[in-house]
Amino acid sequence: MTSNNQVLERVIIKFAGDSGDGMQLTGTQFTNTAALFGNDLSTFPDFPAEIRAPQGTIPGVSGFQLHFGSVNIFSPGDFCDVLVAMNAAALKANLRHLKKGGTIIVNTDGFDPKNLRLANYADNISPLTDGSLDSYRLITIDVTKITKATLAESGLGTKEIDRAKNMFVLGFLYWMYNREMSFTVKFLEDKFSKKPEILAANLKVLHAGYNFGETSETAPTRFTINPAPMPTGTYRNIMGNQATAIGLIAASKKSGLDLFLGSYPITPASDILHELARHKNFGVKTFQAEDEIAAICSAIGASFGGKLGITTSSGLGIALKTEAMGLALMLELPLLIINVQRGGPSTGLPTKTEQSDLFQAVYGRNGESPIPVIAAKSAADCFETVYEACRIALEYMTPVIFLSDGYIANGSEPWRFPNADQLKPIKVEFTTELNGDKFLPYKRNENLSRPWAIPGTKGLEHRIGGLEKQHETGNISYDPENHEFMVKMRAAKVEKVADSIPDQTIDNGTEKGKILVLGWGSTYGAIKGAVIEARAKGIDVSHAQIRHIVPFPKNLGDLLKNYETVLIPEMNTGQLKSIIRDKFLVPAIGLNKIKGMPFATSEILAKIEELA
Amino acid sequence: METTNTTTPAMTSKDLVTDQEVRWCPGCGDYSILKQVQTVVPELGIPRENIVFISGIGCSSRFPYYMETFGMHSIHGRATAIASGLKATRPELSVWIISGDGDSLSIGGNHFIHLLRRNFNVNLLLFNNEIYGLTKGQYSPTSEEGKITKSTPMGSVDHPFNPIALALGAEGSFIARSMDRDPVHLKEMLRRSNAHIGTSLLEIYQNCNVFNDGTFEIFTEKSSKKEETIFLENNKPLVFGQNSDKGIMLDGFKPIIVSLEDGKHSVNDLWVHNESDLTKAGILSRFFERPVDGTGHLPRPFGVFYENNRACYETGLNAQIEFAKQKKGEGNLDALLKGGETWEIK
């Protein structure tokens, strides 16, 4: 049959199912296909902490939200247009995120009495038949049954057949959105190159889903979303943790220092370890340590030896590393500490996002212990930001904290990647000559940075440690004047980093005005979308996103004073707001969300409208 | 004298002395250990700049400041972890870890066991004085039960570690014990530790004359040393006693003391030490009874309990890097940035 074809500007699809239903894979495949087609996009995977929570229950629901369009996309979107629900629990958990009048595609087999009971539907009354979904467009397909029928003669077992049902849904959506299936076909061919019978089954089901759209009258309309107008160049799709790992390797290559990662597995940071472990041919050494403390300490050992020492974790693991971070700042060795933040405190919300470790990064050590802090604003921005973090660490001989979070770590977006020769060089020079009658390990250069003389350098044998040290000689010193001098010196060095960073710019809007929305980290996309909409409505509002938090760009204080109101949305109770108020005496106000979920654009827009 | 000889003059122990004043308490056992290390290191033929001493926290951990090599005085318990990262990335360096019973067995216990199992090629000198000295006299994880200290006025109820048995359990590949008061033996054990490829654990009984004076006296003083200690030598029978008149025999797995003078046993009946025998090393490690009045307790062994040559962590790690480079070619940054699928916007 011929369907209507409607052109849309943007669509938000949420794939939801049991954590064993393969929704992350389905979402990723649709995403990559959209990216290759030229859509702009943003994704947000949302999965349970449990590897396999009890099947059919709400805690077991795994989701993947994709926002793609022919216009610029800044966030995964607030409410979805289409909800794919593989079972009753997936519907129940996600219905509130669906727009009124939106489309629901359900697998009816996931709404049998057992699934209804597990999803806590009262009296096992199916929402598919009780009229409660009347205000939505409901597409019901017995995916399980059709998949079984499709593979009846495949010779595969029930379990393997059941696993292929996500391909049916994917095929159906490819039909619905006029997509080529070639990317997924190639993906399956690679993935199952050694299992031809599984490959054949998946391809068969994928095509069955597509053909089902074509031949059944289930969905009368197909949609076209044209490519987005993006700056010219070559793009790839990238997730935040992947961008972080690649940024680290780039910094290693451009600085000429081999990369050493000391890490202990932790959600949501482990994928950086996994990604780096794949790239040993870059001279990358990954060390899965016995604990968080050994992870950072081994990285300090590597830095002492003249390598690019890195440790990755999430807030609670960072807490364990705190003492060693203090050591690194006393030793004045370069070190990168990566915190992919998640919901806290304590074990908190392992798979959910939050920005609540800012105080920890800025203040969370004993003694006067300033460390530069830098935060990435999006998945792709992790690359450039972590590269910049490495530059600071190496040029200023200091530990640097890089903040990401679960949202951008697992989220993805198109990335116009650079060529290697476009990357700023990172200068590293080991000291090989005496800098006095004898070697002075704490004699500083114009950056207030000390010489890096690594073991193996003849004549420069010296000792460093965590005890307070005498200016220049580095000898142990308990002299009161010297201690105060050194505390101020270490702080001055970190402040000096501001000389090497760009001024704070306005992302959108004017350099002066009524409202400035000031963000940091992963709130970027939601703020960006909200400010665009507000300005379209004629509201005098601008947007700035801070990358450098310690030290701030030099012009930030003056810039903030150009606005009547400074609004700071954060996924915490107001940590940047407190720092800004303290530092600049600006009466910033907060918009705070602590729900383990990123901001919706509408939430920020509503606050802007309230202030306007 | 004019000379064309450009080889560096041989290092002497004086070349290893720093300009820092040694600040251990007068009479501390650490002085002897420092002296023996400074005597042995020049013999090893390693250029000074390729030697690194890394310590944690505690009295012993001041050690690196007194060695004119590269050094780091780090944080409590973590020297082992720092040394691991250094050795992983700079395998050519000679890395020495200086630690104490509190540093390695209490706060750093986790890193201690993992260092041993990974078998980095480093030397770990564990200064055991069975007390916390730097914090002024609390019991340590090697203090005996009932130990009265500032933190245990009624006596400690903690059961102590047996460091040698712990190291064996942690898959240590070289495990030895010596003492501060026997410079000749200590030097020999330092040489052996250095010669071993893998993690060499050398436990050194060290007297803290301020907070735990005389705790090892029975092993170190002439009057009792021969009766209370047994010095292990590879392929030699276990003989001890004032006149080398006693020996150790194995009755099944049970070690028993026999007289070599009562005509019932000769040296030929004795247990012959075999450094590569893990089972017997385990039995030897249990010669750990506290000397008490009366007879029958086993002498405390000194020497190499166990040595086994197995692969070092850093060797495996570097082999993987080389293999990956051979297989995939040296990493190309542009290819990495590009990744798999790309598209172009024109």
Residue-wise DSSP of B22-38? P-SPTT-THHHHHHHHH
Residues B165, B259 within the same domain? no
Chain B residues with CB under 8 Å of A70 CB are none
Strand partners for B272 = B237
Size of interface A-B (CB pairs under 8 A): 213
The per-residue pLDDT for B341 is: 82
Q: With 70 as the cut, is the pLDDT of residue B292 above it?
A: no
User: Is residue A275 domain-shared with residue A360, that is, in the same domain?
Assistant: yes
Note whether residue B52 is domain-resident.
yes
pLDDT at A1: 44
The reply to whether A293 touches chain B by the CB within 8 Å rule is: yes
Return the HEC string of B267-312: HHHCCECCCCCHHHHHHHHCCCCCCCCCCCCCCEEEEEEEECCCCC
Would you say residue B336 has pLDDT above 50? Answer: yes
- CATH code, A210: 3.40.920.10
My answer on whether B173 and B245 are in the same domain is no
Q: Which is higher by pLDDT, A59 or B193?
A: B193
- Contact B83/A at CB under 8 A: yes
Q: Mind listing the pLDDT tens digit for each residue in B3-51?
A: 444 556 689 999 999 999 999 999 999 999 999 999 999 999 999 999 9
Q: Do A465 and B50 make contact, defined as CB atoms within 8 angstroms? A: no
CA distance linking residue B182 with residue B202, whole number of Å: 14
The residue of chain A with its CA nearest to that of B90 is: A305
The label of the residue with tokens 């929402």 reads A127
pLDDT digits (tens, 9 = 90+) for A549-588: 999 999 999 999 999 999 999 999 999 999 999 999 999 9
What residues in A contact B47, CB-CB < 8 Å? Answer: 458
Q: Is A296 a domain residue?
A: yes
* Per-residue pLDDT band at B1 (split at 50, 70, 90): very low
Mean pLDDT in residue range A47-66: 86
Asked whether the predicted pLDDT for residue A393 surpasses 90, the reply is yes
What was the pLDDT predicted at A152?
Answer: 92
Kindly provide the ipTM of the predicted complex, given to two decimals.
0.96
Chain A touched by B344 (CB under 8 Å): yes
Provide the residue range defining the domain that includes A244.
Answer: 236-422
Domain count across chain B:
2
Between the CA of residue B293 and those of A197, B218, B296, what are the distances in Å? 77, 12, 10
Specify if B325 maps to a domain. no
pLDDT tens digits, residue range A429-475? 999 999 989 999 999 999 999 999 999 999 999 999 999 999 999 99
The CA distances from residue A354 to A13, A59, A237, A314, A358, in Å, are 23, 19, 23, 11, 10
User: How many angstroms away from the CA of B224 is the closest CA of chain A?
Assistant: 40
Give the CATH number, domain containing residue A341.
Answer: 3.40.50.970
**Does residue B39 sit in the same domain as residue B124?**
yes
Q: Among all chains, which residue has been given the structure tokens 């790992």?
A: A245
A103 pLDDT higher than 70: yes
Question: How confident is the prediction for chain A on average, in pLDDT?
Answer: 95
Clarify whether residues A246 and A116 are in a common domain.
no
B194 lies in the same domain as B256: no
**Closest CA relative to residue A245, chosen from B85, B331, B337, B314:** B337
Residue B2 contacts A where some CB pair is shorter than 8 Å: no
**Average pLDDT of the residues in A418-437:** 96
- CB of B340 within 8 Å of a chain A CB? The answer is yes
Q: Which residue of A has its CA nearest to B317?
A: A285
The C-alpha of B279 sits at a distance from chain A's nearest C-alpha, in angstroms, of 27
> B242: domain range?
237-272
Note whether B341 contacts A: Cβ–Cβ < 8 A. yes
Q: How confident is the model at residue A477 (pLDDT cuts 50, 70, 90)?
A: very high
pLDDT exceeds 80 at position A218: no
Query: Would an 8 Å CB–CB cutoff place A552 in contact with chain B?
Result: no
pLDDT of residue A50: 74
Alpha carbon distance, N-terminus to C-terminus of chain B: 76
Q: Do B48 and A323 lie within an 8 Å CB cutoff?
A: no
CB contacts, 8 Å: A463 with chain B: 18, 64-65, 67, 70-73
- Candidates B16, B78, B314: best to mutate against A (most CBs of A within 10 A) is B78
Residue A48 pLDDT: 78
Maximum alpha-carbon separation in chain B: 100
Which B residues in the span 255-314 are in contact with A, Cβ-Cβ below 8 Å?
A: none
A123 pLDDT tier (thresholds 50, 70, 90)? confident
Tens digits of residue pLDDT in A357-375: 999 999 999 999 999 999 9
Residue A20: predicted pLDDT: 83
With cut-offs at 50, 70 and 90, classify the pLDDT of residue B346.
confident
Interface subset of A 471-510, CB within 8 angstroms of B: 475-476
- A271 plus A325 within the same structural domain: yes
Chain A contact set for B110 (CB, 8 A): 290-291, 293-294
In a shared domain, residues A273 and A325: yes
* Residue of A235, A260, A291 with shortest CB distance to B89: A260
Q: Point out the domain boundary residue: A422, A456, A479.
A: A422
pLDDT at position A217, please? 76
Please state the domain count of chain A. 3
Residue B291 has pLDDT above 70, yes or no: no
pTM of the model: 0.93
Is the CB of residue A265 less than 8 Å away from at least one CB of chain B?
no
Question: Are the Cβ atoms of B48 and A461 closer than 8 angstroms?
Answer: yes
**Which pLDDT belongs to residue B295?**
56
Q: Domain with B57 in it: what CATH number? A: 3.40.50.970
Instruction: Pick the closest to residue B86 from A295, A259, A301 (CA basis).
Output: A301
Contact flag A462-B84 (C-beta cutoff 8 Å)? no
Mutate to test the interface with B, among A246, A304, A426 (most CBs of B within 10 A): A304
The secondary structure of A64-119 as a DSSP string is EEEEEESS---SS-SSEEEEEESSHHHHHHHGGGEEEEEEEEEEGGGGSHHHHHHT
Contacts of B68 in chain A (CB under 8 A): 461
pLDDT at position B296 is 65
Residue of B70, B317, B343 with shortest CB distance to A461: B70
Mark whether B192 and B81 lie in a shared domain. Answer: yes
**pLDDT digits over B78-100, tens only?**
999 999 999 999 999 999 999 99
Question: Residue A593 belongs to a domain with what CATH number?
Answer: 3.40.50.920
Share of chain B above pLDDT 90, in %: 92
Please tell me which of the candidates B110, B336, B342 has its beta carbon nearest to residue A290: B110
Where helices occur in A517-565 by DSSP H, the ranges are: 524-536, 556-560
